[in-house]
Amino acid sequence: MKYILMMNAPRSGFEIYRAWPQEAAQAHFAVLNRINKELCESGEFVATSGLAWPAQAKVVRAGKDGEPVTDGVFPESKEFLAGYWMVDVESPERAYQIAARISAAPGPGGAPLNMPIEVRQVMSGPPEEFS
Amino acid sequence: MKYILMMNTMRAGESVPNWPAKDLQAHIAFMLNLNKTLRESGELVSAEGLAFPDQARLVRAGKNGTPITDGVFPEGKEFLAGFWIVQVDTPERAYTIAARVSAAPGPGGVPLNMLIEVRQVMSGPPPEMS
């Protein structure tokens, strides 16, 4: 079963993150890199990526004639994806365990952040009702 | 440049949309055809669909790092329905592809003109963090 683990935060969360001391950021990424390495070794790793800052985010929809209409204004409360992992695991519980490890990645002072991670199953195709 | 195009169209508790079967089929056929076109142009990195929000969980580490799961989300929360990762030469090309996704047909074949969030995917942590 494939799952996506999503690290979401409101814009304010990114501002706080950006203000971390460099050594805290390095320690944070070191833990995430170690998790990635372990997932590669266990064969559960599918993909991971970080996204550009929310200030560069755009929302696009088709206008008349299908041409793109872009906008960069989002509601204050909107959560932005900071990064994600895709894993291939035997059970949802295993996906939750991996999410908890990511959740506990250290912040400033080395304290676990215990940040919420959204866990969603990735489907192999459209739901039966659609085909 | 890699971009992720996110279809944040679902809301808490939602499951399969209540559309006539032929409209659902036309919607999926449109998406599959778009994926094929992007694969042929060499721009498609991946395309994935997610399970419905009623199965979504929020997980955080509790004491001792054990997972604490929760299935309750705020009323207004946006849920990712699916996403595309594309490799393109410019952001404008990513916006053009996003507009095509946006115009996927809904009930009665009318373009949905959905909002698609477009974000650049980075090759590594920001320089100031490594």
pLDDT digit string, tens, across residues B31-63: 999 999 999 999 999 999 999 999 999 999 998
For A56-83, give one letter per residue: b (16+ CB within 10 A) or e. Answer: ebbbbbbeeeeebebeeebeeebbbbbb
A68 and B98 in contact by Cβ < 8 A? yes
Angle formed at CA A49 by CA A111 and CA B97, multiple of 5 degrees: 140
Residue-wise pLDDT for A26-78, tens only, equals 999 999 999 999 999 999 999 999 999 999 999 999 998 999 999 999 998 89
- pLDDT class of B117 with cuts at 50, 70, 90: very high
Nearest-5° Cα angle at B18, B56 to B6: 45
Q: pLDDT class for B97, splitting at 50, 70, 90?
A: very high
Q: A100 and B91 in contact by Cβ < 8 A?
A: no
Q: Which domain holds residue A84?
A: 2-49+75-124
What is this model's ipTM? 0.93
This model's pTM is above 0.90:
yes
Largest CA distance in chain A: 53
Residue A69 lies in a domain: no
- Judged by CB atoms closer than 8 Å, whether chains meet at A57 and B118 is answered as yes
Whether residue B100 is contained in a domain is answered as: yes
Give domain status of residue B70, yes or no.
Answer: yes
Check which CATH number belongs to the domain holding B88 and give it: 3.30.70.1060
State the average pLDDT over residues B13-38.
92
List the 78-107 stretch of A: residues with Cβ below 8 A of B: 78-81, 86, 92-93, 96-97, 99-101, 103-104
Which CATH number covers residue A87?
A: 3.30.70.1060
Chain A closest-CA separation from residue B94 CA (Å):
10
Q: Is residue A131 part of a domain?
A: no
**Does the residue B128 lie in any domain?**
no
Structural domain boundaries enclosing B6: 2-122
Token code pair at residue A29: 């990424």
Q: How many domains does chain A have?
A: 1
- Total domains in chain B come to 1
Is A12 an 8 Å CB contact of chain B? no
Angle between helices B91-102 and B21-40 (to 10 degrees): 160
Residues A112, B65: C-beta atoms closer than 8 Å: yes
